[in-house]
Each structure stands twice: as C-alpha cells, then as structure tokens.
Amino acid sequence: MEQLEKKLQVQNLRISFKTAAGKVQAVRGITFDLYKGETLAIVGESGSGKSVTSKAILGIQAANALTEGGEILYDGMDLLQIDEQDFCRLRGDRLAMIFQDPLSSLNPIMRVGKQLTEAMLLKSRMRKNNSRTAFRERTHLLEQTMQTRFPERRDLARQMEQYRKMETALGAAEKASTDARQALARILPLLERLCFLKEKNADTAGMPEKILDYAGHARHEDALSEADLQDLRSALDGAGKTPDIRPLLERMQAILDRKPTREALLKRSCPSFTESDEAAFRADAQAGIEAAMERFAKARKEAVSVLESGLEALKSGGIEAVRPHVASMSGAVARCIDPIDPVRDSRACTFAGSLKKFLRTYEDGVRHNAGRQVRYEREMKKAERRQAQGKTWTVPAPSIIDLEQVRANMTGLIEAMIQHLNTPQKMTGAEKTEAVLSAIHESALGMVANMTPWEARERALRLMEEVGISEPEKRYKQYPFEFSGGMRQRIVIAIALAADPDVLICDEPTTALDVTIQAQILELINRLKEERHLSIIFITHDLGVVANMADRIAVMYAGQIVEYGTSEEIFYSPAHPYTWALLSSMPDLDTKERLEAIPGTPPNMIYPPKGDAFAERNRYAMQIDFEQQPPRFQITPTHWAATWLLHEDAPKVEMPESVRHRIEKMKARMEMPSRAATDCQIQTSDKSSFGKCSTVRPAKEGQA
Amino acid sequence: MTEPLLRVDHLCQYFGSNKAVDDVSFEIRKGEVFGLVGESGCGKTTTGRGIIRLYDITSGSVYFKGHRIAAGIKSYKDAISEAKKALRGASGPERERLQAIIRENREQIRLARRDHEQCDHLLRPFLRREVEEKYAERLAAAPPEQRAQLLREKEYDLRVAEHQRYVTGIQMIFQDPIASLDPRMTVYDTIAEGLVIRGEKDKAVIDEKVYRILERVGLVREHATRYPHEFSGGQRQRIGVARAVVMNPDLIIADEPVSALDVSIQAQVINLLNDLRRDLGLTVLFIAHDLSVVKYFSDRIGVMYFGKLVEMASSDELFAHPLHPYTRSLLSAIPVPDPYFERHRKRIRYDPLAEHDYTVDKPVMREIVPGHLVQCNQAEYERYCRMMQEGQP
C-alpha cells in the first residue's frame, strides 16, 4: 500500500448547505485517500453525504453549499481553491463522473453519437496542445538542470536538440504502429463472429464491409501487409459459402503477438540517433538530476528550519505572531518543489494556498464573530417571544468561526509539512531519471496523438458495444429519448469513459440496471481500471455491488465515515453496528426469515445528534452513544470503526445472527484458513462500568 | 384443481413491429406470490400493464377469477386471413372445413371484443342480482323497525355494485414513489381516491378505511393531511402500498416496488409487503430485476427473455436447478456481498444463437418435472430431462 501513488487526498472535508430552515451539515469532517489504480467504495444511505462529497471533488456543488473546511488534493492542486477555468481543464477529462440519473445528464437534442465523441475530439485537441507545451517545458527544464551540472559544456544544447528530434520521431512511429495494430486487433473477433454466424446460417449483412474498413486502417509494416490484405479480401469475397479463414486468423494472431520493440521503432524512425548516443545522454541527464536532488535536499532542510521558527511563533504568540513568517514560509516551501518532477508534490504545492486560506478565515472571524453573536442573540430573543405566543420558530445556529480551531488547523498543517519535508526521498537518481524521461516520452506521444473523427466514431462504437448496447451503428445516430432507461444509463457510462479519465466517480451507476447488465458494467469498469490504472470512487447503497469492485470501503453515515477498511475486512469482520445493519437488511439467496430492517430514518442534519449519530436507530446503543461521539478505534492498521462498542469497557456484543451466519457461509465457501478469521466478537475485559456509563473517557485515538 | 385467480393465456403485446410480449402464459393461484424477472426491456412491466388493462393487448386472453377481462384478437384475425388464402384453391369438404374455421374465428373475435369491452357491464347485473337476493331474505325476515336501516344498506351495496369493475380487484404498486404520487393531492386524497371512484360516499366509512390502512402500513393518522413531498422515499412507497391495499384487492401487481429505494428502506418495504400478504391473504404478481429480493419474496418465479417466458418453476426449484441457459446466465450474475466469491465468480454469458438451434424445431413450453416448465424444443427437452435425472445443474 505504501508504494502506491496517492491520486486524490480528501482531508477533513466539511460541507454545509445554507437553507431557510438552518444550516444543514451534510459532510462533517471526512478524510480518505484514493490511490492510483484502486477502487474506493463509499457506502451509505441517501442523505449520508456521499454524493455531496463526490460533487465537491468535481466542484459542482449547489449554490448554497458552504465549504467549511478541509482540502481535496489532486495533482498538486487543492480542488477547493482552484478557479472555474482550471476546473474546466480537469472536469470530464481527468475527473469524470457517472451520474445516477441518466435522463438529466444527457442532452436531449443531440444525437448520442455526437455526445459520445464530443469530449474525445475536444480532448484530443487539448491534449495535443498541452503535450506540446509540456514537452517543451520538460526538455527545457532538463536542459537547464544539466547545464547547472556541467556549466562548461557547449554541446548540451545540440545534444538536447537531437534528443527532442528523436523523441518526436519515435512518438510518431509508435503512434502509427499502435493504431494499425489496434485496428488489426479489432478484426479478429469480427472474423470469428463472421465464421460463427455463417455456420449458424444467420444474417451477416454488413460485416465483410466493416472488416475491410478496419483492414484499410490496419495497413502498416507492423500489421497487415499488402499481401495479407489481398488474402483477406479474397477470403471475404467468397460470399455464401463458409470461407476458410482459420489460417488467416492464425496468421493475424501471430502478427499481433509479434510486438515491435522500441529499438526497432527507433531504428526505423530516427536512424541517426544511435544507442551509444542515447546512453551518453541518459548518463548526463542522470548526473544533472542527481545534482539537482542534492540541491533540493538542502532546500528542504532550510525550509524545515524556517517552518520550525514559524511554528514556534504560532505556538507562543498565536496567529497574529505568525503573520510576518507567512511569506518566508511559503517561499521556503516553494523552493523545495522540484519543477522537473513528473509527480507533483501536492502537499508542498498547496501549502501556501492553505496557509492563506486559514489566515483569511481567521481575519473573517476576528472581524465578524462579535456581530454574528449579537445578531444571533437578538434573533433568539425574538424567537423566545414568538414561542411564548405558541408559534413554532427556529433560529439557525450562528456561523461563528472558532479561532482556536483555526489555530489548531494551522499548527496541524505546518507540522504535517515539516514531517513531509523530513521524510527522505524514496526515489534514487536512476529511478527519477527514468521517470522524467518516460514523462517526456509520454508528452511526445501526446503531441502526435491526434484523433480523427473516424477514430472517435470507432472508439465510441466500441465503447457502446462494451457497455452492452446492441447494434451500435444504428444507435449511434439516435437521440436519447429513443433509448430505454437502462440503455440511457449505459450511454452515460460510455460518455464518462470516453474521455479516458484519471479518476472516475461513479454515483450509483448501476442502481437502475438489472443484474446481467449490472454485472457486465461492473466488469467493464473493473477491466478499464486494470487497463488504464484508473482510480475509482464508487458510491452506492448496495453492499452486494461493491464486493466485486472495491479495494477499500468507507461506510458513511450522517456525514461521517463510521467504518473504513479493506473490502475483506468490511465484509468478513464488520465492526460497526451500522455496517451490520446494512448487511443484514438485504436478503440473500438463502434468506427465509424476516429481514432486519433499520428502523427509522437518518437524522436531520440541521441538528446533528450530539453523540453517535446512529445511536437512535441502533439496537446496541449504550448510554454513552447519546452523549459523546465515539473516536476511531483502530482494529487493524487498515481497518477502523467509530463505535463505542469497540471500547475495552464495552459489554460484549455479537453481530446479528443473520450476518454471522452469512460470514460463516462465506468462509466455508473460501475453503481455506481465513486470514480474516479473527474473532469478530468484541473482546472485553471489564463490563461492569459500561452498562450505564457516562464516565468513560474516549480511548486514545489511532493506536496504530 | 381449482380455477386459478389469474390466468394469462398466450398473451401478446406488440408495439408496431416490436414484440414486447410474445406468447406468454402463466397462472397465479390464490394466496401465492408469482415473481417475474428478466432484464430491462424484456417485457415484464408490459405484461403487468397488459393484465391490468393499461394497454389493449394484441392477442391472447387474461382470465381473472374465471372471467375473461382482457382479450386480443390478432391471433383470430391471422387464422382468418390464412384460411381465406387457402380457400382460393380449395374445393369440396376442404372448402367447407375452411369456411367453418373462418366462422369459428369470427365468432371468437366477437366474443373477445365483447369480453374486452363489456366485461364490466356484464358483471354489474350479476352483482345487482346478488345484492337483491341477499337483501330479499333479510328484508322479509326483519322486524319493521330495522327495515329502514336495511334498505339504506341495500342501497349502498347496490351503488357499490353499480361502480364495480373487475379491474378494481387488481391493484398496482409502481416503481417510482415520487412519480406515481400526485404532488398536489394530500395522502388522504390519494388513498381515498379509489374508494370515491368506486362509489363510496360516506365520509365516515372512507375516514375509517383510510386511517386503518395508514396505520397498517406503518404511518400515522397525522400523515393523512400531508403532501407526498413531505415524506422520505420509504414512506412514499408505503403510501403507494396503502393506496393499492385500501381497495381490498384480490391481486396486487407490484412493479419493481423496491428498486428505487435504499437498501435499509427496501427491507422495511419488503417486510411490510410480507406482513400484508400474510395478514390479508394477498396474491401478488411481483415484477423485479433484483433476484435476491424475488427469491426471498416469491413462491414461484417466471423468467422472461425478450418478450418470451423461458422458464417457470417454484423459486427454490428454479434456483436449485436452473435449466434454461438464460436463467443460468441470470443467476450467475447476482451480486453477492462476499469479496472472495465475487473475485472468483464465473459469469455465464448467454448468446441465443450459440445456445439454441431453432431452425427446424421451434421451441414451446414443456414441463420437465411437475411445476418446472422450460421453453425448449424436443432435443433440448430430452437433454434437460437427462440433466434433471442426473441432478446436474
């Protein structure tokens, strides 16, 4: 888990909505990380704040939403702070979302084909431009780095120019080769299907033409030769009778298996750049980068001392005292950021912004707190008068800023930054050089990756097929209203995937679909995750759906995460009563007895409960649940739950019968000594004091 | 065997060239829950709507309590046109036979039209007669001071009989509780509407029924004056259930009643339906795509695929021995809350072209073991029987 790259970090996010009835606290301090290539499932009832969280990540909150705190870090940016223009670059391109309601997320007067290809074409143009800029910038930075290391060398500029040329040529060659091979790969299943249909005497109209169309695009040295093409044509021309295309199929498969190596492509595209040239360049680049790493290590040390002095001032003199240090701290941290690093240091990049945000909040508090308090008191008096008259009258709580909290947040921020700077860099010089050079290669590829309308249509059709839409050619030209509900949902999913995003947020994507399609789409999302190292946030209320998908699961209730762990931990040893309730309230195939429904409804978040939010509906609630919020009890390093039942003084409580049965059955099915077979019951030593306790103090937070 | 409560006979529902429901037959006995599953667009909702006469069915018949309440005429028309074509070249006894066929089918069309359009009119005199008979004896026997009261009761019963329709005995619960409730009607109006339409005029009776049903579905009296938007999703669905149950129906068609609800709320509504079914002896046609819920709730299950009923069996039997490849593919796709199982799941794909060869022998519903019917041709029938004996699936 440590090696994984963090794609998205949500820290202590708090979101409220201003309404006429008062402030609705929809999200109350949630923290989670999303790693590259993993799926995080957020499970909870409607109204638990899961959709609000996802919308905050996309920056599409309602106008009355109020972000009260926290940060969402993505690629060196705090998504809560960047402006709309920057968001436009991210949304739909790197962060995509599948919405719950397909009707409202499709344009009714645009054919679905256009809606599908729109993002692809726009993105391709944008990617081309961005890649060009990135390529120039990166090579330029690399040159500068090398120049600093070897100030006396005159030939560096020429060497760099050669390298640039080589990368550009290689990128173009690679692109042409992959395109042709992709078209070829597309032919194979079509040919097989054609054989199959001919055997069954079914209709094959249009298929030979389609295959030939692909074959035209697969004409390349690494794919189909002219002779292969001729063979294919003659085989397909034998209409009526079953063509013998098995040998042809095998030949094509052999071509596909023979992947062109980088050396071969390089030799073909840029013969003047030899291997020794490359080795020399690589050695120089590495030397430059290693020197730079040393410089930045020194800068980090300096920044730590600056931050420490700032922290000292903050701790002794409060926020006013730290104000003069802000500029120097921001500057020191900014100097630690290595611009050439392909993975941006998100914590360092957002440090200055977060610091400023806290200062602003503090100023706002100092200026307005008193006024707000006065107004609130006036309103309260009015309310009392009204209530005395027998009218119902509620007063929204004042939005008074807790200055101590701001100071504590700031301290936390600086401390985290210091710790971050003190952690030694994991990458060695060679690894970093490799990363930088591959990033350059990546942007070189991006420069030539121009998507033609034919390609876009092709990809759209393939996506439509992948999400289970039959006759995609016909459907491509239809309008959304011509589709049924399930079909529309599939189009929405296809659109989200069309942009090839980094982070995909799925907000109940399959709730309206039936099981076969649901399974199909979940498999599709899983496959794309594998192929593209997609990070997925999967929001649902159905635990059954996420068992297949999730690497980790966060169970949300009333705006907070109540249990968090890997998929196995949540399913095989759930610890929070709410998770138990969710598991026991759905029937499985062997359920005969009455379902254990969760009584009541989620609490009104205008007046969030004082203690554990779930206490009112909880069969296992104790006195303390109504009085104090439970802290997180760490069960394993990756699994924690916020419930008093895990406290050492709590009485021994077993999970409901039905859940226990189910887990036993699952373990029996696994037929192997279960890793998660740790006793699911809560261990207890002393229960005398907990029956009616209000004296128990929360245990130490986060033992691990 | 006694007459089933509902019998659907070769029901077809075409929309233009789209065969939404194609030759579906099944029976529902009194007191049982019949589940209908299949993917979206396979015609399960259309079947439900055809039964309750929201559509005029294309062909086939629906019998409710032994009476035909809906009938389509396409099959008869087809038979006539075919006979007419054959008639051109025919002579002698063949000709007479064909003419008899045409006459027969014309008669059938007449009967179907009559039943489809007039069934309620035919019902009413019958009900009126029943009421008259019932009160004739009692009036004769009653002392004079009770006569006025009895006459009032008789008048009331007659009025109800006058408004009675077969379809009133079938009520529907819809999928989306938001869309299926009128936002401008209070809960009381929504629930009472059916009673009023049926001729109920006595405010006290309506009040009593509405409040009783509200409490029965787990709401309280005070909720009666509120509007749908003031309720949570689960409560709204309870209102939908109350609206259906207040009519005291014999059959409830529940069209995906829990699909749009949260898991925790789903359990509440399923429990409610289960209680109602037990207490009131309801018969339910349960349409859903969530197989775990259908399995939990239904006694028998029919599986639909592209407008056709492909397999029908008791729910335990169906899940223990699925025979039709589509059923097996459907069962293999059920999500299970077990990560280990899910990661090693093998989903069976269903490709009708690869599975069946129906070029020569067309498939029909055949009974493999008593109560377990599968759509298959002769060769498949033998294979399934063998599989069943070996206990393979």
Confidence grade of residue B26 (pLDDT, cut at 50, 70, 90): very high
Cα distance between residue B316 and residue B319, in whole Å = 5
The arithmetic mean of pLDDT across residues B9-28, rounded, is: 89
pLDDT for A603 equals: 83
Angstroms from A527 CA to nearest CA on chain B: 13
User: Does the pLDDT value for residue A391 go beyond 50?
Assistant: yes
Q: For chain A, what percent of residues have pLDDT higher than 90?
A: 9
Residue B33 forms beta bridges with which residues? B284
Closest-CA residue to A477 (of A496, A498, A460): A460
Alpha helices, DSSP H, located in A200-274: 207-217, 226-237, 246-257, 262-269
Does B91 reach chain A within 8 Å, measured CB to CB? Answer: no
**Mean pLDDT throughout A55-81?**
84
Tell me the average pLDDT across A674-678: 38
What average pLDDT does chain A have? Answer: 82
Nearest Cα neighbor of A352 from A327, A319, A320 is A327
- Report the pLDDT averaged over residues B209-214: 92
What pLDDT sits at residue A242? 58
Question: Is B352 part of the contact surface with chain A (CB cutoff 8 Å)?
Answer: no
The yes-or-no verdict on residue A27 having pLDDT over 50 is yes
CB spacing of B329 vs A516 below 8 angstroms: yes
What are A641's strand-pairing partners?
A563, A633
Nearest CA in chain B to A583: B337
| Tokens standing for residue A404 | 């101590």
By the 8 A CB rule, do A146 and A284 touch? yes
Best CA proximity match to A596, nearest among B263, B235, B336, B294: B263
d(CA A496, CA A99): 9
A539-563: pLDDT as tens digits? 988 887 888 889 999 999 989 999 9
**Contact present, A135 and A447 (Cβ < 8 Å):** yes
Interface residue B144 vs chain A (CB under 8 A)? no
Which residues are paired to A91 by β-bridges?
A95
What is the distance between the alpha carbons of residues B307 and B10, in angstroms, rounded to a whole number? 12
Say how many C-beta atoms besides its own lie within 10 A of residue A606's C-beta: 16
pLDDT of residue A683: 35
Cβ density class B117-142: b for 16+ within 10 Å, e for less? eebeeebeeebeeebeeebeeeeeee
Neighbours of A44 (CB within 10 A): 27
C-alpha separations of A41 from A32, A546, A572 in Å? 11, 7, 16
Q: Dump pLDDT digits (tens) for A167-223.
A: 888 888 888 888 888 888 888 888 888 877 777 777 777 788 888 888 888 888 888
User: In degrees to the nearest 10, what's the CA dihedral of B240, B245, B250, B254?
Assistant: 20
The yes-or-no verdict on residue A125 having pLDDT over 90 is no
Instruction: Let me know: does A563 contact A576? Beta carbons within 8 Å.
Output: yes
Q: Quick one: tokens of A187?
A: 């032919």
Strands ordered across the beta sheet of B59-64: B18-28, B6-15, B59-64, B67-73
* Chain CA centroid to CA A31, Å: 14
Cβ separation of B40 and A544 shorter than 8 Å?
no
Q: What is the mean pLDDT of residues A507-524?
A: 79
Examine the pLDDT at B197 and tell me if it is beyond 90: no
Domain boundaries, chain B: 6-27+43-60+307-393
> Residue A572: closest CA among chain B residues belongs to which residue?
B338
Measured between CB atoms, which of B38, B40, B295 is closest to A484? B40
Q: Would you state the pLDDT for residue A674? A: 40
Q: Is the pLDDT of residue A698 over 50?
A: no
Q: Which residues make Cβ contacts (< 8 Å) with residue B382, sequence separation at least 6?
A: none
Which spans in A37-111 are helix H?
50-58, 84-90
B320's enclosing H/E stretch is: helix B315-320
Contact A601 B289 (CB under 8 A): no
CA distance B191 to B215: 13
Residue A563: its H or E element:
strand A560-566
| Of B105, B62, B79, B37, residue with least CA distance to B324 | B37
> Which band of pLDDT confidence, cut at 50, 70 and 90, is reported for residue B218?
confident
> What share of chain A in percent tops pLDDT 70?
93
Whether the CB of B140 is below 8 Å from some CB of chain A: the reply is no
**CATH classification code of A554-670:** 3.40.50.300
- Taking CA atoms, what residue in B is nearest to A548? B342
Q: Is the pLDDT of residue A102 over 80?
A: no
Which of A601, A639, A658, A669 is the mutation pick for testing B, counting most B CBs within 10 A?
A601
The whole-number pLDDT of residue A565 equals: 93
Identify residue A569 by its one-letter amino acid code.
E
DSSP assignment, residue A219?
Answer: B
Is A681's pLDDT higher than 70?
no
Bridge partner list, A634: A640
User: Given a cut of 70, is residue A680 above it in pLDDT?
Assistant: no
How long, in residues, is chain B? Answer: 393
Contacts of A486 in chain B (CB under 8 A): 39-41
**Dihedral angle, C-alpha B67, B69, B72, B76, nearest 10 °:** 20
For chain A, give every residue range classified as CATH 3.40.50.300: 6-109+479-550, 554-670
Lowest mean pLDDT among A37-46, A329-338, A400-409: A400-409
What tokens appear for A98 in the block?
Answer: 């599948």
pLDDT of residue A3: 55
Contact yes or no for A45 and B293 at CB 8 A: no
Helix (H, G, I), strand (E, B) or coil at A678: coil
Chain B interface disruption, residue of A193, A585, A604, A670, most B CBs within 10 A: A585
The Cα angle at residue B85 between residues B81 and B86, in degrees rounded to 5? 120
Q: Do B264 and A542 touch (CB under 8 A)?
A: no
Q: In 3D, which of A454, A499, A478, A471 has the Cα closest to residue A112?
A: A478
Chains A & B: contacts with CB separation below 8 Å:
140
Q: What is the total residue count of chain A?
A: 704
The domain A6-109+479-550 having CATH identifier 3.40.50.300: the answer here is yes
Distance CA A173, CA B271 (A): 64
> Is the entire prediction scored with pTM above 0.80?
no
* Pick among A195, A586, A666, A671 to test the B interface (most B CBs inside 10 A): A586
A671 pLDDT band, cuts 50/70/90, is low
Average pLDDT for B120-137: 85
Q: What percent of chain B has pLDDT over 70?
A: 99
In Å, how far from its chain's centre is CA B56? 15
Q: Give A675's pLDDT tier (boundaries 50, 70, 90).
A: very low
Give the dihedral sign, CA B203/B206/B209/B213.
negative
Other residues' Cβ atoms within 10 Å of the Cβ of residue B219: 20
- The token duo for B255 is 């069209």
Most confidently predicted of A292-301, A382-391, A478-487, A522-531: A292-301
Least trusted range by pLDDT, from A227-241, A401-415, A438-452, B243-257: A227-241
> Is A277's pLDDT higher than 90?
no
Which residue from A544, A568, A596 is facing B336, i.e. has the nearest CB?
A: A544
Mean pLDDT, chain B, rounded, equals 87
Distance in angstroms (rounded) separating the CA atoms of residues A331 and B95: 104
What is the DSSP secondary structure assignment for residue A75, as one 8-state letter?
T
pLDDT category, B392, cuts 50, 70, 90?
low
Residue A499 clears pLDDT 80, i.e. is over it:
no
Q: What is the pLDDT of residue A239?
A: 53
* Average pLDDT of the segment spanning A236-242: 62
Burial class of B355 by CB neighbour count within 10 A (0 to 12, 13 to 18, 19+): middle
For residue A694, name the pLDDT band (cuts at 50, 70, 90).
very low
pLDDT in tens, B268-305: 888 888 888 888 888 999 998 888 889 998 999 999 99
pLDDT value for B27? 92
What is residue A186's predicted lDDT score, i.e. its pLDDT?
A: 84
- Which one of A45, A514, A666 would you mutate to disrupt binding with B, by most B Cβ within 10 Å of its Cβ? A514
Distance, in Å, from the CA atom of A73 to the CA atom of A70, rounded to the nearest integer, reads: 10
Question: Residues 238-297, chain B: which have Cβ within 8 Å of A?
Answer: 259-260, 262-268, 270-271, 274, 289-293, 295-296
User: How big is the CA angle at B8 (ends B5 and B9), to the nearest 5 degrees?
Assistant: 130
How many C-alpha atoms does A161 have within 13 Å on its Cβ side? 5
Mean pLDDT within B164-176? 86
Spatial neighbors of A615 by CB under 8 A, at least 6 apart, are A609, A621, A625, A626
Phi-psi region of A558 (alpha: psi -120 to 50; beta: other; left: phi over 0): left
Point out the residue among B40, B268, B353 whose CB comes nearest to the CB of A597.
B268
Nearest CA in chain A to B330: A516
A595/B267 Cβ within 8 A: yes
User: Looking at residue A676, what is its pLDDT?
Assistant: 37
Q: CA nearest B336 in A: which residue? A: A544
Q: Strand pairing of A535-540 and A39-43?
A: parallel
Q: What is the dihedral of CA A534, A539, A543, A546, to 10 degrees?
A: -10
